[in-house]
């Protein structure tokens, strides 16, 4: 489940992810992005993973169900989690054109915000 959090940066969608992503989460996120960034404004994502119940980066992406036009809008993707498996999946984001991704440990959330803002 996604929870959209208050963001420290107007160009960043902040999410807390609990358990598995669901279709209704994807719809809520799509509506949020449409309302705040339209179809052509770039944005970042700060995803804080908590209580992971089998969620992976791939599951997060599938759960978001952004079509290709959204991928063109992604700039930076920061992932904050305790799980080393999530760190490995975060590196996959570096292979998507135009997206820079980085993993931060759970206690490095402030460091993640600094990275995403610059």
Q: What is the pLDDT of residues 23-52, one digit of tens each?
A: 788 788 889 999 999 988 999 999 898 765
Stretch (H or E) spanning 57: helix 57-64
CB 51 within 8 A of CB 17: no
Owner of token pair 């993640």: 112
Domains of the chain: 2-117 (3.40.50)
Structure tokens at 64: 């978001």
Tell me what pLDDT residue 36 has: 95
């Amino acid at each position: 489940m996604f929870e959209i959090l208050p963001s420290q940066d107007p160009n960043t969608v902040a999410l807390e992810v609990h358990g598995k992503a669901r279709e209704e989460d994807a719809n809520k996120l799509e509506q949020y992005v449409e309302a705040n960034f339209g179809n052509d404004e770039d944005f970042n994502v700060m995803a804080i993973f908590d209580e992971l119940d089998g969620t992976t980066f791939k599951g997060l992406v599938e759960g978001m169900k952004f079509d290709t036009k959204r991928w063109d809008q992604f700039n930076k993707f920061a992932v904050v989690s305790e799980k080393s498996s999530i760190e490995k999946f975060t590196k996959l984001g570096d292979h998507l054109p135009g997206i820079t991704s980085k993993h931060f440990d759970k206690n490095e959330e402030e460091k993640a915000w600094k990275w995403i803002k610059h």
